[in-house]
Amino acid sequence: MALGEPYLLALIRHAPFWSVLLPLLIAPLILYQLLVHGKRKGKGKKETTIIRLPPSPQRLPIIGHLHLMLKEPQRTLQRLAHSLGPVIYLQLGGVPAVVVSSPEAAREVLKTLDVHCCNRPSSPGAKMLTYNYRDIAFSPYSERWRERRKLFISELVGSKRVQSLSHALEEQVDQLIQSLSDQPSMEPININEMIFALIDGFIGTVAFGRMSGAKLLKYNEFQQVFSETLAVLSAFSAQDFFPELLISRWVDKLVGLEARYRRIFGELDAFFETVISQHMSPGRVQPDNKDNLVDVLIGLWKGQGKQGLAVTKDDLKAMIMDAFIGGTSTSSVTLLWAISELIKNPRVMSKVQSEIRNSVNGKPRVQVSDTSQLKYLRMVIKETFRLHPPAPFLVPRETMEHVQLLGYDLPPKTRVFVNVWAIGRDPSCWENPEEFYPERFEDVDIDFHGLDFELLPFGAGRRGCPAIAMGTMNVEFTLASLLYSFDWKLPEGMTSEDVSLEGRGRQIVTRSTPLYLVPSLHK
């Protein structure tokens, strides 16, 4: 956005979606503002309730602060927190929201007030793609969510289960190392694609038993559906931000968003149907890990499960979707950021490779069990999570009742964003916060399991990631293996300054450009 450019103009220039939409929206929205907000204000006066909202930046008519969420909102809101403080109030269209940007405020939201703000806001896109919130990540806080989350942990991602699945990951990484070793030397490789295929293969094996999403559909088709799913889940929907406005449904229809939801839902559903029917086929060859998620869920669906857990076919599909969307993008994005930082920091690259090579010395490959010895590697991963948490705002929460946060009032149904990206770069917690310096973890006992509010890549509290053990294993083991077996260089003519660390994406932030590197087998 050019300096001094009026926000509304910048908005139109940067977002063609709005430029088409704005004229259509303006008239009814003004009416909306006048009628709905006018009514609310009137009501407030009669009830004479005085509430103390957190400080708020200047808002625009009608859209309020929506423009702040357009490009790298984590950065914009970090800057605002410097002047307004760690709790900021935003009006996102018709939706009240707060953004918290300090460890203390995050602790309040995710620990002290956790039980009062662990709902997820409703969203028509998420509703359709999760079979009416039958998944875990987007489901409202409820008894059914609790049951499903328990099942997900016990059957798919709990620590015991993860240990028993380590062979599946070792197998995937072995295949990758083999295929990289067979490549003609000095050929640059698209690291984004390589890592995505690897993690997809692993999550696919865990969930389906030796079938990856990419193998079930044609690889490109699967990647397409997958990235489109993430894209629509992060898209700006009028219904998300103007839920009380009847016309917002029509706006989403008009701009083609509803049709996109339906098309992607159709493709995902067809994919899940294929998976389920392959698992139920009488002539199917049993995979090694017979108790993969789909087999377990099919058992529960067919009534052979544990008492009290009624699972429908739609529950089953929604949970597979969580495993794919939640598991694949986060783990692969973290690996990609870690490799990008290491290529930019040759000192750290050489130190971490020496650690791995000295520790694993002599073995043809790293094994999952080796990673517990790799202290510096773990610091590298912590440092990657600090600077590049895959979900810079976690998954948005919603207050279920009136709460008080650090002396401010938050009405019910206020959307709560935790800017963990800003917390990871807060100079009051971290020295030289912009520097990639894993040694900072040598003397401080800070971890990412949701107890230290300075470092929250997996969130915390009731809605915290249930798959920390699996996510950590994916990242630690894959990174250790790639660094043990290969040396990595930039393509001819590129220097480390050319490696961009710019991110893109609203819910999951990945590199804005693909990373190409040349591997050479380490003898």
Q: Which positions lie near ligand HEM, rule CB under 6 A?
A: 136-137, 149, 157, 203, 322-323, 326-327, 330-331, 334, 390-391, 394-395, 457-460, 463-467, 470-471, 475
- Residue 398 phi/psi, 5-degree rounding, is -145, 135
Torsion 441-383-109-158 (CA) sign: negative
Q: How many residues does the chain have?
A: 523
What is the smallest separation between the CB atom of 119 and ligand HEM, expressed in angstroms? 10
- What is the distance, to the nearest Å, from the Cα of residue 214 to the centroid of all Cα atoms in its chain? 20
What is the smallest separation between the CB atom of 7 and ligand HEM, expressed in angstroms? 29
Q: How many secondary structure helices (H) and strands (E) does the chain include?
A: 21, 11
Type of residue found at 154:
S
Cβ distance to ligand HEM smaller for residue 21 or 368: 368
What is the smallest separation between the CB atom of 271 and ligand HEM, expressed in angstroms? 17
DSSP 3-state of 211: coil
Assigned token pair, 325: 């969307």
Q: How many CB atoms lie under 10 A from the CB of residue 431?
A: 8
What is the smallest separation between the CB atom of 213 and ligand HEM, expressed in angstroms? 13
190 pairs with which residues across the strands?
Answer: 516
What is the smallest separation between the CB atom of 471 and ligand HEM, expressed in angstroms? 3
Cβ distance to ligand HEM smaller for residue 248 or 474: 474
Cβ distance to ligand HEM smaller for residue 298 or 465: 465
Assigned token pair, 94: 């018709």
Cβ distance to ligand HEM smaller for residue 32 or 458: 458
Cβ distance to ligand HEM smaller for residue 78 or 472: 472
What is the smallest separation between the CB atom of 448 and ligand HEM, expressed in angstroms? 8
What is the smallest separation between the CB atom of 15 and ligand HEM, expressed in angstroms? 26
Whole-number Å distance between alpha carbons of 251 and 242: 10
Cβ distance to ligand HEM smaller for residue 67 or 425: 425
Whole-number Å distance between alpha carbons of 426 and 389: 14
Contacts of 279 (CB under 8 A, 6+ apart): 208, 209, 294, 295, 298
Residue 117 marked ligand-binding: no
Q: Tell me, letter by letter, the H, E, C secondary structure of 403-419.
A: EEECCEEECCCCEEEEC
Whole-number Å distance between alpha carbons of 278 and 285: 10
What is the smallest separation between the CB atom of 390 and ligand HEM, expressed in angstroms? 5
Whole-number Å distance between alpha carbons of 324 and 195: 14
Cβ distance to ligand HEM smaller for residue 177 or 469: 469
DSSP letter assigned to residue 110? I
Of 108, 35, 130, give the one whose Cα is nearest residue 416: 108
What is the smallest separation between the CB atom of 279 and ligand HEM, expressed in angstroms? 18
Enumerate the H helices of 312-418 as residue ranges.
Answer: 313-344, 346-360, 375-387
Cβ distance to ligand HEM smaller for residue 138 or 242: 138
Cβ distance to ligand HEM smaller for residue 255 or 460: 460
First to last CA, the chain: 49
Half-sphere exposure of 473 (CA within 13 A, CB side): 25
503 pairs with which residues across the strands?
Answer: 511
Binding-site residues from annotation: 465
Binding-site residues from annotation for heme: 465
